[in-house]
Amino acid sequence: MSENIIVNSVQNNESYPLIKLDNVWKIYQMGEVEFAALKGVDLQISKGEFIVILGPSGSGKSTMMNLLGCLDLPSKGTVFLKGKDISQLSESELATIRGRMIGFIFQQFNLIPTLNTLENVMLPLEFQNADPFMSKKKATELLDLVGLSQKVNNLPSQLSGGQRQRVAIARSLAADPDIILADEPTGNLDSKTGTYILDFLYELHKKEGKTIIIVTHDTTLVRYAERVVHIKDGIVESIEDIKNN
């Protein structure tokens, strides 16, 4: 598998910044009309950072997150992942990079409704051809970590919103990725559950040195951040360093 070689070379290359956006544009074409959701964004994210990307609705946060997560390619400019231009990678290489290097957490949780909790958490490992026994062990550990060891056989529909998001967190950690990308992770949760989720991610960042990127319009999340990227109308307005915590 040649994609493995390429993905490994990206994954293990430590001499470049983790992610670099270089004059990135995203232009959506709607029939005749063009709309620029990102207009020349420059941003560099290092390994082990806790970053909050903050901006009002429609400012282009999700668009940016899609690019950071290799779900989409820029219309103009370049996204580098550990020095590799992601536009140069094939579909299956991008898929493998997402699977191994990035853990996604979505506002809508996005669990697979036909799989139970354990199977949902195992899924990223299965896409990586991991040994089924090891996957199961890892998933069980992670569910334990998020406090859901009682719910391994439940379907997502049998869980509360907070529990679902904890499953989603466990899933995002299954393949032990460097980067956790969360788009409005607390958007559908009450503030108490939201705090639990954020505290959990913060722990992870502190203990395991995971790079955490959270996209939100919720200013209360800023207190967890080491850096806040303010975005408005597709433009990075300012980048704020918060070194006090």
Partner 1 sequence: MRNSSYFKMALTILLHSKVRSWLTIIGIVIGVGAVVGIISLSENMQKDMEDRLSEMDLTAIIISPGSSRAMMAMGPGGGGGGPSSSSEDTNLTKKDIIALRSIDGIKYIYGQISGREEVYFLGEKAELTITGVDPQVWQYASTSTAKSGRLLEPSDNYVAVIGSGVAEDVFDHEVGLNQVLTISGKSVRVVGILESEGGSTDNSIIMPIDAAVTLIEDAQPDVFDSIIVKAESMEIAETVSDDIKNKLMISRHVTEKDIDFSVSTSASMVETASEMMQSMTLFLAAIAGVSLIVGAVGIANTMFTSVMEKTREIGTMKAIGATNRDILMIFIMNSALVGLVGGILGVIAGSLMTSLFPLLGMQMMRSSMSISLSPRITVFGLFIAVAVGVISGVVPAYKASKMRPVDALRYE
Interface positions with partner 1 (CB under 8 A) = 66, 69, 71-72, 91-92, 95-96, 98-100, 103-104, 106, 108, 110-115, 119, 123-124, 126-129, 132, 171-172, 175
Examine residue 61 and tell whether it contacts ligand ATP (CB under 6 A): yes
Asked whether position 63 contacts ligand ATP by CB under 6 A, the answer is yes
Out of ligand ATP, Mg ion, partner 1, none, which partner does residue 112 contact, by CB within 5 to 8 A per kind?
partner 1
194 binds, among partner 1, Mg ion, ligand ATP, none (CB under 5 to 8 A by kind): none
Smallest separation (angstroms) from partner 1 to the CB of 218: 21
Nearest CA to 54 among 208, 240, 180?
Answer: 240
For residue 19, what are its two tokens?
Answer: 């992610």
Between the alpha carbon of residue 210 and those of residues 46, 111, 119, 204, the distances in Å are 11, 22, 24, 6
Task: Return the residue of 62, 165, 211, 216 that touches Mg ion, per CB under 5 A.
Answer: 62
List, as one string, the DSSP characters of 22-82: EEEEEEEEETTEEEEEEEEEEEEE-TT-EEEEE--TTSSHHHHHHHHTTSS--SEEEEEET
Regarding 28 and contact with ligand ATP (CB under 6 A), the answer is yes
* Identified binder of ligand ATP from the candidate list 14, 30, 113, 238, rule CB under 6 A: 30
Site size toward ligand ATP (CB under 6 A) is: 13
Tell the smallest beta-carbon distance from residue 47 to ligand ATP (Å).
Answer: 25
Tokens 């036909």, located at residue: 114
Tell me: does residue 55 bind ligand ATP (CB under 6 A). yes
Sign of the alpha-carbon dihedral angle for 46, 111, 93, 136: positive
Asked if 181 and 102 touch (Cβ cutoff 8 Å), the reply is: yes
Look at residue 217 and give the partner it binds from ligand ATP, Mg ion, partner 1, none, a contact being a CB closer than 5 to 8 Å depending on partner kind.
ligand ATP
Reduce the DSSP state of residue 236 to 3 states and report it.
strand
Tokens 């191994």, located at residue: 100
Name residues contacting ligand ATP, limited to 141-170 (CB under 6 A). none
Q: Quick one: which of 44, 82, 60, 102 has its CA closest to 227?
A: 44
Rank residues 122 and 189 by Cβ distance to Mg ion and give the closer one: 189
**Residue 15 binding ligand ATP, by CB under 6 A:** no
